[in-house]
Amino acid sequence: MHRKLLNSELSRLTPQDYKAAEKAPLVLVLDNIRSQHNIGAAFRTGDAFRIAKLYLCGICATPPGAEIHKAALGAEDTVEWEYVADTQELVRRLKTEDYTVIAVEQTENSVMLHDFRPQHGEKYALIFGNEVKGVQQGAVDLCDLALEIPQYGTKHSLNVSVSIGVILWDIVAKLK
C-alpha cells in the first residue's frame, strides 16, 4: 500500500530558499496568452521546474490577480517575471543575452521533442503562444528553432499549460 504524503513531508523549498536556489537555464515567454488560468499554471509549472524567469507579453495579464493566483497558488511570488509588450522585441533582446530561442510550435521544419537534445551550458528561451493562434509568425521567424510535441489523436494541439508542463519536464529531465 502507498500512504499519501502530507505537504509537510515533501521537503519543498521555502519561498526565500527558492529565490536563492540555482535555477534551470530556462526562461518561458508567454506570447499573448489570454487565459489567466493558463498564465497561473505557467507560474506554478515554472516554479516546479525552477525556471530562471517568466516573461508575459502582449495581452497577457500580470500579477497580482485572483484568477492567476487561483492556478499559481503563490508561484507568482516565487518565480521571477517581467512584462514586455512586444514579443519580437523580447526575442531580439534574449538573443543578445545568448539564449537559444525556441518557439514551441508546429512548423515546416520543427524538431520533435523526443529528438531535441539540450546542451549543458546553454540557456534556452521557450516561447508558448496564444491558445487559438499559437506563437505569432513574426516571433517564430526570429527563433533559432521550433520544437513540436508529437501528437497522435484527432486534435491539432494541446492546451498551452499542458504543453508547458510536457516541454519543461522533458528538457529538465534531459539536462539532469
Query: What are the pLDDT digits (tens) for 106-157?
Result: 999 999 999 999 999 999 999 999 999 999 999 999 999 999 999 999 998 9
pLDDT tens track for 92-107:
999 999 999 999 999 9
Give the C-alpha distances (Å, rounded to integers) separating 21 from 74, 79, 119: 17, 11, 21
> Is a pLDDT exceeding 90 seen at residue 45?
yes
> Is a pLDDT exceeding 90 seen at residue 8?
no
How much is the pTM? Answer: 0.95
The CATH number that domain 21-175 falls under is 3.40.1280.10
> Is a pLDDT exceeding 90 seen at residue 28?
yes
The average confidence (pLDDT) of the chain is: 96
Instruction: Catalogue the E-assigned strands of 45-119.
Output: 53-57, 81-84, 99-104, 111-112
pLDDT of residue 158: 95
Report which DSSP code applies to 75: G
pLDDT tens track for 71-93:
999 999 999 999 999 999 999 99
pLDDT of residue 11: 87
What would the mean pLDDT of 22-45 be, rounded to a whole number?
97
- With b for 16 or more beta-carbon neighbours within 10 A and e for fewer, the 102-115 pattern comes to bbbbebeebeebee
pLDDT of residue 148: 98
At residue 70 the predicted structure's pLDDT band, cuts being 50, 70 and 90, is: very high
Count, residues in the chain: 176
Domain locations in the chain? 21-175
What would the mean pLDDT of 55-62 be, rounded to a whole number?
98
pLDDT of residue 39: 98
pLDDT of residue 63: 97
